Amino acid sequence: MKCPVCSSNLVEIKFKSAFVDICPRCKGTWFDSDELVDFVRTLTESEEISPQIPQLFNERIVKTLNSVKENKDKVCPRCNQKLKVFNYAYDSNVFLDKCPHCQGMWADEGEAKKLARYLKEDPRITSIAKSFIKKDRAMQDSQDLAKISRTLTRSANPVVLSIPKMIIPLSDDTPRQRVPLVTIFIMILCVLIFIGQVFFIRDPFAFVQKFGLIPAHFLGIGLISSMFLHGGLLHLIGNMFFLWLFVSNVEDRFSRFGFLVFYLCCGLSANILHSFLNWNLSIPTMGASGAISGIMGAYFIFYPKARINIFVIYKILRVPAFLYLGVWVLFQLMFGFTFKTTGVSNIAWFAHIGGFIFGGLFAYFKKKAVIIKG
């Protein structure tokens, strides 16, 4: 093939896994269809190619075809069709010649490197952009929280009491380091036991009396077994959702066996505090929420700056974990003392508090020990 610029014979060379045709005289390069993309992608991965740094806050000047001296004699070395000049990516200011018939492209000397510099991401520019986005998102979240706060404070007291039902955590931004096998095992076990409760237990009342936690009969199997029982499908779904959202991340901080022991200890702490404050109560209690609350306390210590996506009334917000979990435990305290003075509640509020305190304290000392050791 002949060079479109100087008519010299093109020399085919191997570049990585592809072959390109280079003019030994003018150093231009001919790329058959799709070869340019792979060639430039390889160049961008090279440390020798530095990224093009745009001038921040300055308007980018995009050149037009009128500002480029077009060589009207350039023809395709493959099919002898006239090459058309175009601005690659529309604003790169790197003008290549393309054959409208075979889709091959001609790049003059150095143009492929210019294109790689243009396409290569500059980490400084990316960092600034992410910082702007992060600050804008934080400001928007603050404005949304303030708006919701004003709405609630203007409302009647019953609305304030229903706030927890309006705040639903959806997800967090803490990546898991490994597959949470213990968490999955606990979820499967709870689901299987619930299925057994529904379909295979002939006397549910006697079953709950035996395996549920009854403070008046404190020392019994219910101290452990109650944290794997659930009183209904919604009770099970809610606990399993919180279990997956918070517990699977905390599992990364423990060995498999160590985490299982920690989970059980959180549930025991929850049951002990509930029983201590309701010593004469003969109503059985069941559910994994006490143990899960302990894991939430550990999450509060391990990942305080993690962002949690929550649904509040009508909007999804991203709030720090310490804020969401701090408000959550305050509501547990408020409802716990409220129902303690007014009568019996169908929710063991102090079990949640006991689990949260134990999990948080244990995580605090574990985190402190790791820092001292490190």
pTM above 0.85, yes or no: no
pLDDT of residue 161: 47
Most confident of 33-42, 186-195, 283-292: 186-195
pLDDT of residue 91: 77
Q: How far apart are CA 42 and CA 113, in angstroms?
A: 11
pLDDT at 146 over 70: no
Q: How far apart are CA 170 and CA 359, in angstroms?
A: 22
Q: How far apart are CA 338 and CA 335, in angstroms?
A: 5
Query: Is the model more confident about 98 or about 69?
Result: 98
Other CB atoms within 10 A of residue 255 CB: 11
Q: Is 103 left (phi over 0), alpha (psi -120 to 50) or beta?
A: left
Q: How far apart are CA 332 and CA 357, in angstroms?
A: 12
Confidence band, pLDDT 50/70/90 cuts, at residue 106: very high
Average pLDDT over residues 301-308: 88
Q: How far apart are CA 268 and CA 258, in angstroms?
A: 15
- What would the two tokens of residue 241 be? 């959702």
Classify 103 as helix, strand or coil: coil
Q: How far apart are CA 369 and CA 345, in angstroms?
A: 39
- What would the two tokens of residue 373 be? 């050791």
Dump the DSSP string for 352-371: HHHHHHHHHHHHHHHHHHHH
Average pLDDT over residues 248-260: 90
Confidence band, pLDDT 50/70/90 cuts, at residue 349: confident
State the DSSP H helix or E strand holding residue 255, giving kind and residue range, or none if neither.
none
pLDDT of residue 122: 66
Confidence band, pLDDT 50/70/90 cuts, at residue 131: confident
Confidence band, pLDDT 50/70/90 cuts, at residue 116: confident
pLDDT of residue 69: 61
Other CB atoms within 10 A of residue 40 CB: 22
Most confident of 6-20, 77-91, 251-265: 251-265
Q: Which amino acid would we find at residue 128?
A: I
Q: Which residue has the tokens 């305050």?
A: 330
Query: Is the model more confident about 113 or about 313?
Result: 113
Question: Residues near 149 by Cβ (< 8 Å), separated by ≥ 6?
Answer: none
Question: Residues near 247 by Cβ (< 8 Å), separated by ≥ 6?
Answer: 180, 183, 186, 263, 292, 295
- What would the two tokens of residue 91 be? 């604003």
CB–CB of 82/57 below 8 Å? no
Q: Which residue has the tokens 């794997």?
A: 228
Using one digit for the tens of pLDDT, what is the confidence trace for 310-334?
877 667 777 888 888 888 888 888 8
- What would the two tokens of residue 208 be? 């709950």
Classify 270 as helix, strand or coil: helix
What are the backbone angles phi and psi of residue 323, rounded to the nearest 5°?
-70, -50
The chain-wide mean pLDDT, for the chain, equals 82
pLDDT at 124 over 70: no
pLDDT of residue 62: 74
pLDDT at 273 over 60: yes
pLDDT of residue 282: 82
Q: Which residue has the tokens 């391990």?
A: 302
CB–CB of 118/138 below 8 Å? no
pLDDT of residue 156: 46
